[in-house]
Structure 1
Amino acid sequence: MAVLPASAVLLGEAPGLLGGALAAAPPNGSATRYTIVPFLNSDDGTVNVYQSDDATDFRLDVYKRQAYTPPAGRIRDASILRHTDGSYYVTYTTRTWQDPSTTIGFARSSDRVNWTFLYDYTVPVANLSRAWAPEWFVDSDGSVNIIVSCSTTNDEWIFTPYRLRATNSALTAWSSPVPLSGIGANHIDTFIVKTGSTYHAFPKNETTKYIEYATASNLNGPYTIRRTGDWAGWGSYREGPALVQLDNGGWRMFFDGYGDGNYYYSDSYDTFATWSAPAALPAISGTARHFTVVKETVTGGPSLARNVTRSFRSANYSTR
């Protein structure tokens, strides 16, 4: 009997049974691959590399355990990017949360398994105390950006999101930091996606401990915060939101439930207005911490003719 991916079961999309099934599949002869590079709940000095074909069941290959350990400092809140040069890049927080942290780190890999340290970059914000949770954002014009949460020495626990834009293709030079207008201070872990001409931002409010929702027509803002409190039903003490668009057009949000030790996902099919009840990620919930996702279409998967009638028989019940 055919076994469906966990995501197909959860989303109510059994291939061949429901009308939305074709939208949920990659092209013939190809497969979808989701990659995450989280630091560990037990160790913020190294990261593992996990992959999944359904954005739910993330697996650890033995050769990807402790895939990258920086030469100094820590590696927290790693964000992964597949760049136009074909390489994978991570940017990350370089110190543990108790310590001042004025740099963000960079590493590169050609295969997601073997990583090379590139450099630590001092974020040029005046009186900087901490630069945390750098998140990649590639705009529709191809520009590569990082959204990083920064606090200053006058109040080291009040964070504001800033934008850095790469000024060369090697990702070694960056524009001056620009605060995101409208989101404001006391927000952290801001993650941004763009649909059409609208930028959608998901920052965590450090006072309420809820992930909020804001929109703007320009990456720098001004943003309008449209949803606050427990607007999506995710609960409080959630952080590190990361979004990826699924093959069926929906959006999946991942977030760190640091208050209860779980890692969650939740789906939206109406441009972020409503969300499914959060569910803990199998296998890695309680192990992985704060990550982002790279989605790719890779070779592999079945090559099946379209518009052909097929039948399946249960191996357990031959009459079914």
Structure 2
Amino acid sequence: MNTSTSKNPPKIVVTGRIPEGGLDLLRSAGDVWAWSGDDPAPRDVVRDQLADAKAVVTLLSDQVDDDFLDAAPNARVVANVAVGYNNVDVDACTARGVRVTNTPGVLTEATADLAIGLLLASTRRLGEGERLIRSGAEWKWGMFMMLGTGLQGRQLGIVGMGEIGTATATRARAFGMDIVYHNRSAASAEVEQRLEARRLPLDDLLAGSDVVSLHCPYTAETHHLIDADALASMKSSAYLVNTARGPIVEEAALVDALGDGAIAGAALDVYEHEPDVHPGLLDLDNVVLAPHLGSATVETRTAMAELAARNVVAVLRGDDPPTPVN
């Protein structure tokens, strides 16, 4: 624990390990209790610390619900270190006068990079190739060995044309892909012109795209947005990439679609019941699996922690936070 030099410094609870740069900013504004383990802090340990906390920095593994807020009656701000905040009951926080903040923007480039990496790993069968080499099995080059599919002239369907979706589309355009997207509102004229992107209804996007990449937020409306019917409407040669949130995809339906050849492959960084992964996915060669690495660069995670800290500092000073949710 680190105590500031203020006479009565506000207590700030950090529920999980974050980069030191974020902690340094928090220490300048209050008395910081921070969990230092790599695993999530036990809920009872966090609850004990929340009783007199004025601010709480949370991670995706935390569920900020009524029970959590009951344990933190003095909290003024919950700063979620993530672009998403589906783990936070924003309405419950608002009803109690608790500000909620997140960390958008700073993870855009890293997540878009990973989406393209997963796209390439899936369409070029890199996961299968690496597993073959590591298995020690005999192999030799052949004209038809592990043929994948090229990207040039293929259609990429972006579901959710926000900052990350746009950044992913920009990278895909450099590979020669044609861009279509589905979004509640149209992208700017500049984005559409630069990417030669067309906005489509979701059904049309799914039916015509060679790769579908998910970048929409997780809400009640997007829960199982990609279900059995959606997967059945896709081309049998198509690939699905998900770097958004796991429950957007009905995982059991995806296992069936991959196993039956309804789609050619998938690449996932997030899971419906994370950190648990549907066991059916583990047995399939035509799916690439990553352990939620979307923002996992040193630079990005540091920027996320520092932005969350700046949000806390602003609220404790009585100012508007840089990235408010409510």
TM exceeding 0.5: no
Higher strand content, 1 or 2 = 1
Structure showing greater Rg: 2
TM-score calculated relative to the size of structure 1: 0.22
Higher helix content, 1 or 2 = 2
Higher relative contact order (CA 8 A, sep 6+): 2
TM-score calculated relative to the size of structure 2: 0.22
